[in-house]
């Protein structure tokens, strides 16, 4: 069966933004292009701001069927508590939200991030499975939602004591064979991910526009990528000042990027 599928970013800001909300995307499968009948909605990351970005898009936790979590930073996973509690206490909800997550993240996302606030509930000791239908993804693995395949891609985002902390981007393959590469969060490391740059038809890339933290690709670094790669890239995960005036948009155009992703207005067709 074929579906009409679209992706919209609920927010496209960095962890430190106040106006642009966290960089979280929403993919929706509809029965047809009229968009009158939703089949499934999948969040790509759920930062703490999700409790604001969903209502601003006219949605609520009730509308979410699944969520993919790329790594443990709060602007990517902090909203799991909102999703978990609101769905758990919703008497009208028939199924748990599906949680797609690397097997390298499952234990830490619960033990180090969520259990402090969610383990104890009315005298019960709970687990991640209490709140979510957990879909643990094996090394070099993937998951499928209806018509689209999602391949996990190891990113080098944070290195802790010489060990790469698990963080995973996505290569999304549509039924028409188009490939969308979402870096989620990554350092500038073109040698490691050049094959994904080359394979992708469209790239959504984090772009640090403020101080150079060393854990994100900085705008000065992205400008050095080959032209054929830059022409595929939409830029996300940036500071609030990108929304003010034209300076950053002029820079993106001059450097032949597709542009900056604006919240709730830029929609990507995945068909």
For 229-249, the pLDDT digits (tens) are 999 999 999 999 999 989 999
Strands (E), the chain: 4-11, 24-30, 38-44, 66-68, 97-102, 120-121, 124-125, 132-137, 142-145, 148-154, 159-160, 163-164, 168-173, 179-182, 202-206, 233-236, 259-260, 267-269
29-to-8, 43, 143, 159, 253 alpha-carbon distances in Å: 12, 12, 16, 36, 31
pLDDT digits (tens, 9 = 90+) for 192-223: 999 999 999 999 999 999 999 999 999 999 99
All structural domains of the chain with their residue ranges? 4-269
| d(C-alpha 127, C-alpha 135), whole Å | 14
CATH class of 4-269: alpha beta
Whether 12 contacts 263, CB under 8 Å: yes
- The predicted model scores a pTM of 0.96
State what percent of residues in the chain have pLDDT above 70: 100
pLDDT digits (tens, 9 = 90+) for 9-66: 999 999 988 889 999 999 999 999 899 999 999 999 999 999 999 999 999 999 999 9
> How many other CB atoms are there within 10 angstroms of residue 87's CB atom?
17
């Amino acid at each position: 069966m074929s579906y009409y599928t679209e992706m919209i970013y609920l927010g496209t800001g960095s962890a430190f933004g106040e106006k642009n909300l966290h960089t979280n995307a929403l993919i929706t499968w509809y029965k047809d292009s009229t968009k009158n009948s939703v089949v499934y909605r999948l969040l790509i990351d759920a930062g703490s701001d999700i409790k604001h970005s969903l209502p601003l898009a006219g949605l609520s936790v009730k509308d979410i069927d699944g969520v993919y979590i790329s790594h443990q930073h709060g602007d990517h996973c902090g909203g799991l508590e909102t999703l978990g509690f609101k769905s758990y206490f919703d008497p009208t909800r028939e199924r748990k939200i599906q949680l797609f997550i690397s097997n390298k993240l499952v234990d830490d996302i619960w033990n180090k991030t969520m259990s402090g606030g969610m383990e104890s509930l009315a005298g019960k000791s709970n687990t991640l499975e209490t709140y979510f239908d957990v879909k643990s993804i094996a090394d070099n693995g993937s998951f499928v939602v209806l018509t689209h395949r999602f391949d996990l891609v190891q990113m080098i985002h944070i290195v802790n004591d010489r060990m790469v902390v698990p963080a995973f981007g996505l290569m999304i393959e549509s039924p028409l064979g188009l490939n969308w590469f979402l870096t989620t969060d990554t350092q500038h490391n073109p040698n490691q991910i050049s094959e994904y740059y080359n394979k992708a038809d469209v790239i959504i890339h984090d772009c640090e526009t403020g101080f150079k933290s060393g854990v994100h690709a900085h705008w000065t670094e992205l400008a050095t990528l080959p032209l054929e790669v830059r022409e595929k890239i939409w830029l996300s995960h940036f500071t609030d000042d990108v929304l003010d005036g034209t300076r950053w948009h002029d820079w993106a155009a001059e450097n032949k990027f597709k542009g900056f992703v604006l919240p709730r207005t830029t929609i990507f067709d995945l068909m």
